[in-house]
Amino acid sequence: MSFSIAGKTAVVTGAANGVGLAIARHFVARGANVIFADMDEEKLNKEIGEISDDDEGTTGYFAGDLREKLTVANLLSATIDRFDRVDILVNASRQMLAADPLRDEDDVVGKLITQNLITPLRLTQSFAKRMIKQAEGADDDAPVGSIINLSSIAAYRTHPELLAYSVSSAAVDQMTRSMAVALAPHRIRVNAIALGSVMSASLRGALGENEDYRDSIVDSTPLARIASPTELAEVAQFLAAEGSSFVTGQILTVDGGRSLVDAANVPAH
């Protein structure tokens, strides 16, 4: 089995910043055709422009609000127009919002369910249908596609101010398992990566100049550091490649051991 993704076509959402950007860049470096998808068109333009001339033929970008059904359809169409097929979908676009659990005026739970669950679910449904269609007539044993969701260890840890984030992360985990079973007969694998503390855009903003917060995260992580987004990109490649062809429905925890210890008062990003 190979862990190569060279020649595969991948779509990575949330690809203008943090983990999504790291995964998209890593996939390009490993020879995949990659569509960078995000709402931030200016940032996408900047990132695509920084990729070397040698890679220009293997990259593209799509800007739009993927919470809208039509935008999901347009992303799929743009991918097929550019590369004729899609083999890998990485649902890396996600949001974390803290809120008072006793207030409902801002409907934070509804916002994060839409962003972190409904959007990747729609993308999964739409792209899986295309993967199934393009596999018609192919070898019955050949892999058809890999879908990777981003989740968080917050799914099974309790922090009242992160109620919405925890609920939406838990929902992503269950969606991953359910879609893995539904798509297994079509030879499409669905897995998730549950993040601990990774130096994403949201965590960088939360840390700011707060050294005490940074220290509390490091102290509650057995490996005593915050991961870089690049480390998550390597895990995503493993799940995308044929070398993990018997892995589906799994929530792969990448947290430096943090979920193994009691750190209930430290939010999980």
Q: pLDDT grade, residue 221 (50/70/90)?
A: confident
In a domain, 265, yes or no: no
What pLDDT, on a 0 to 100 scale, did the predictor assign at position 202?
A: 67
Q: pLDDT grade, residue 265 (50/70/90)?
A: low
User: In CATH, what number is assigned to the domain containing residue 126?
Assistant: 3.40.50.720
Least confident of 156-160, 199-203, 264-268: 264-268
In a domain, 156, yes or no: yes
Q: What is the pTM for the complete model shown?
A: 0.91
In a domain, 68, yes or no: yes
In a domain, 89, yes or no: yes
Least confident of 42-56, 119-133, 152-166, 174-188: 42-56
What pLDDT, on a 0 to 100 scale, did the predictor assign at position 15?
A: 96
How many domains, the chain? Answer: 1
In a domain, 269, yes or no: no
Q: Do the beta carbons of residue 87 and residue 145 sit within 8 Å? A: yes
Q: pLDDT grade, residue 220 (50/70/90)?
A: confident
Give the residue, 206 or 62, on which the prediction is more confident.
Answer: 62
Q: Look at phi and psi of residue 31 and say left if phi exceeds 0, alpha if psi is from -120 to 50, else beta.
A: left
Least confident of 36-40, 50-54, 81-85: 50-54
Structural domain harbouring 33: 9-260
Between the CA of residue 115 and those of 172, 176, 241, what are the distances in Å? 11, 15, 27
What pLDDT, on a 0 to 100 scale, did the predictor assign at position 49?
A: 78
What is the rounded distance in angstroms from the CA atom of residue 224 to the CA atom of residue 61? Answer: 36
In a domain, 267, yes or no: no
In a domain, 54, yes or no: yes
CA angle 43–46–50, rounded 5-degree value: 140
Among 97-111, 131-145, 227-241, the range with the most confident prediction by mean pLDDT is: 227-241
Q: pLDDT grade, residue 183 (50/70/90)?
A: very high
Instruction: Return the structure tokens found at 156.
Output: 């099974």
What pLDDT, on a 0 to 100 scale, did the predictor assign at position 122?
A: 98
What is the rounded distance in angstroms from the CA atom of residue 194 to the CA atom of residue 166? Answer: 12
Neighbour order of strands in the sheet with 88-91: 59-63, 33-38, 9-13, 88-91, 145-152, 188-195, 251-254
In a domain, 3, yes or no: no
